[in-house]
Amino acid sequence: MIKVAIYGEILDKKHHQAIQLFFEQMQVFKIECVIFEKYKEIISPIISFKEGIKSFSSKSDLLKFDVDYLISIGGDGTMLNSFRLIFDTQIPVFGINTGRLGFLSNVSTDKVNWALKELIDGRFTDRVRSVLEINYKDQEEKIYAVNEVAIHKQDTSSMLIIHAKLNDVELTSYWADGVLISTPTGSTAYSLSCGGPIVMPGSENFLVTPIAPHNLAIRPLVYRDDKILELEVESRSDKFLLAYDSNSITLSSDQKVSIKKAPFYIHLLKFEDYNYLNMIRNKLLWGADKRNKKY
């Protein structure tokens, strides 16, 4: 019997029927599930599911259930948050998209039944995605990012000066609002809106994209993901913001930040109709030009 963990954060009214069907179909297919505790509290008054269904509240709690897969219900932000429960566990994950674009969470609500059948029949591939590991002085625990790490100004309108080294070799000093360090997965997120290129998953690269640089010669840089990037920040407020995926903390200017590839991957399940180039073309409207007959 397949056992899955369900993670979610909110449930919009327009998706009630689809998510109700999802839980009903899991019972039909005899898929056992456990639900993230806070999500269970949200959906219990709305969605009917098997009586006595168990819940979990943390990574260590989840691991006790020995689940085969994690299913995220929500948008890409919800899916990014779900990754914190499975870092370094090799538990595969896929997302049912109740958000907007859905680059990561890309199973639409009208394909829920089909996706569960594909899961049971094993008609999927396991696509690994690289993860960023972030380290800094006086750090209490390891933190990771699947999309990007952002160094950003805080408490002042003045730009930052960010001194960067790559494998102990001086790279440059960015005079900017900040910089983004992205994985190929994150190249279609914040970095894209700052003029960064799209980097295809599996290319074994990371990407540095400046945020509003005050120097026309500064451009995004793609580098091999086996290198360590070190960043030292100068700020008039002596503070800066370190954001990673959907989280952020404030650091002082004497806290150097080092970013490298984590020693594990996130495992994303992709079903047989999935094609990365098709997704990019459809989500970003590539070729949406009246001269192209397809459009």
- Residues assigned a catalytic role: 76
User: DSSP letters of 46-86?
Assistant: T----TT-EEE-SHHHHHTT--SEEEEEE-HHHHHHHGGGT
Question: Nearest-CA neighbor of 71 among 5, 154, 25?
Answer: 5
d(CA 79, CA 20): 20
Which residues does 195 contact at the CB level (< 8 Å), separation at least 6?
209, 220
Pairing label, strands 107-108, 93-97: parallel
Pairing label, strands 32-36, 54-56: parallel
Q: Which CA distances in Å does 122 have to 33, 105, 116, 119?
A: 18, 19, 10, 5
Angle of CA points 154, 158, 161, to nearest 5°: 85
Q: Which two tokens stand for residue 235?
A: 């700020």
Supply the Cα-derived Rg of the chain in whole angstroms: 21
The region, left, alpha or beta by phi > 0 then psi within -120 to 50, assigned to residue 114 is alpha
Q: Which two tokens stand for residue 36?
A: 């993230």
Question: Nearest-CA neighbor of 249 among 114, 149, 110?
Answer: 149
At residue 41, φ and ψ (nearest 5 deg) are -65, -35
